[in-house]
Amino acid sequence: YTTGKLGRLTVVGLGLIGGSFAKGMRESGLCGEVIGYDADPVARNLAVPLGVVDGVAADLEGAVEGADVILLAVPILAMEKVLAQLAQMSLGQAVITDVGSTKGAVVDAVVKAFGAVPANFVPGHPIAGSERSGVEAANAELFQRHKVILTPLEGTDPVALEQVSGLWQVLGADVEHMALADHDEVLAATSHLPHLLAFSLVDTLASRSENLEIFRYAAGGFRDFTRIAASDPTMWRDIFLANQDAVLRSLDAFTRDLARVRTAIEEGDATALLGVFTRAKSAREHFS
């Protein structure tokens, strides 16, 4: 991290992601002060005793006052409200960044609030998480050796971009840049669609099974495939509403391919089935 010691870092939303960022930055000793704000008084009361922040503010305005960097880590559908409030406040030269899992929706909310994307706004998304949520799940090591994708826009200030990259690197993350539209398309395919399949499969099986008896016979494959169906339902609702177009494209492509597999099974087409499974096995073996 090369741009020097940071004065005040403010984290808005002290859940799994915001709390982990705040805690990691606090432990790094890089910031003069890490201040947090959360709409939930329970999270506000726990954040200091859990060592997540140095102090909490009772409201958003108090939290962002004098901040050098503001990290927004609220659920995607809450971003719009927080950004609209921030646009009414005097933020000085503060760099603003976010961790929203979809980027188009957050940038749309920024435009709605500020009229245009300010040069000191840096959209970001850490590819790290867990099935846990809330301030008690905050973990300073959460981002170590994980990718963080920043999706700068044409007008993004390079100094602000460098500063946000530096903060993630302090937490041990591997920062990459990506075009915003590419981010939402890639994540729809590699993260959103798999979560949809896991949620849907478990829901289908659960609704067919008396007293969930069927899960007694579930083996490792089922466990591996459906682990992500234990993820936070509210967060995932937000993601599908926020990334609707890209998710639908990905889902349509998958539905077409699944229909072909169905036909192959129906017609006893061994060659087609073997083709799909062999290609998938070889593709899967290319990443660890």
Whose CB is nearest to ligand NAD? 15
Question: H helices of 140-219, where?
Answer: 158-170, 180-187, 193-208
* DSSP letter for each residue of 36-51: EE-SSHHHHHHHTTTT
| Choice from 9, 11, 31, 43 touching ligand NAD (CB under 6 A) | 43
Binding residue for ligand NAD, selected from 36, 118, 126, 152, defined by CB under 6 A: 126
> What contacts 283, CB < 8 A, 6 or more positions away?
none
Containing 237, the helix (H) or strand (E) segment is helix 233-242
Tell whether residue 118 is a contact of ligand NAD (CB under 6 A): no
Give how many residues touch ligand NAD by CB under 6 A.
29
Q: By CB under 6 A, tell whether 15 contacts ligand NAD.
A: yes
- Pick the stretch among 11-19, 25-33, 157-165, 269-277 that binds ligand NAD (CB under 6 A): 11-19
Here the contacts of 111-114 (C-beta below 8 Å, separation 24 or greater) are 112/80, 112/83, 112/84, 113/80, 113/83, 113/84, 113/86, 113/87, 114/83, 114/87
Residue type, 162: E
**246 near ligand NAD, rule: CB under 6 A:** no
Residue 13 interacting with ligand NAD (CB under 6 A)? yes
Residues 71-90 that bind ligand NAD (CB under 6 A): 73-76, 78, 81-82
Residue placing its CB nearer to ligand NAD in the complex, 126 or 152: 126
- Cβ atoms of 10 and 167 within 8 Å: the answer is no
Structure tokens at 91: 């933020």
Q: What 3-state DSSP class applies to 70?
A: strand
103 in Cβ contact with 183 (< 8 Å): yes
The reply to whether 152 sits near ligand NAD by the rule CB under 6 A is no
Stretch of 26-34, 123-131, 163-171, 213-221 contacting ligand NAD, by CB under 6 A: 123-131
Q: How far is the CB of 106 from ligand NAD (least distance, A)?
A: 8
Which range binds ligand NAD by CB under 6 A, 111-119, 122-130, 162-170, 214-222?
122-130
Per CB under 6 A, residues contacting ligand NAD are 12-18, 37-40, 43, 73-76, 78, 81-82, 99-101, 125-126, 129, 133-135, 235
